[in-house]
Amino acid sequence: MKRSIAFVLFFAVLFSCNEEQQKPETMLVPSANETADMNKAWNQEEQELIHQFIARKGWDMIETESGLNYLVYKNGTGAQAEPGMKAMVDYSISLLDGTELYTTQSSGPRPFQIDKDNVEQGLHEGITYLRVGDRAKMIIPYYLAHGLMGDHEKIPPLASLVFDIRLLGLSD
């Protein structure tokens, strides 16, 4: 909640001030240190929310250095995903509150090139922990997903994403 209020205030101040209305020396724009402190606080709050979510679900997830959490709950036997490969995936994406945002159930599986295509940075990382046939849960924090702005469609600002993903295939 605090993060949402700080976010709204930050952007309200940023977008409500312009040089025609106020002198530059009176503008209320956060300093680089203040912005870094806000970002650090948001990250800590987000990690706490993620850890609480994982505890409620009872999932035994692996947390990577970047803050991505993943759990392979069904093991496949195929090849290991690597950067540069094209991955074919089936997935659903939801928020920590359970709101489903996107799914491939209606559109069919989706391919993307690992470390090349325009998908969530956390998905690029997470897919490399999977083998063909694996089913996994991934929790991608907002800073590895759509960041401060969301996707301007269904994903809100500062939203961590819960992926339920299946790696269907890989190609070069």
70 within domain boundaries: yes
Tens place of pLDDT for every residue, the chain, 172 residues? 556 555 555 555 555 555 455 555 666 888 888 888 888 888 889 999 999 999 999 999 999 999 999 999 999 999 999 999 999 999 999 999 999 999 999 889 989 999 998 889 999 999 999 999 999 999 999 999 998 888 999 999 989 999 999 999 999 8
21 within domain boundaries: no
- Please, are residues 131 and 76 in contact by the beta-carbon 8 Å criterion? yes
- Give the position of tokens 């702005």: 149
32 within domain boundaries: no
7 within domain boundaries: no
15 within domain boundaries: no
Q: How many domains are there within the chain?
A: 1
User: In this structure, what DSSP letter does residue 156 have?
Assistant: P
Residue span of the structural domain in which 102 resides: 61-171
CATH number at residue 107: 3.10.50.40
88 within domain boundaries: yes
Helix, strand or coil, per DSSP, at residue 127: helix
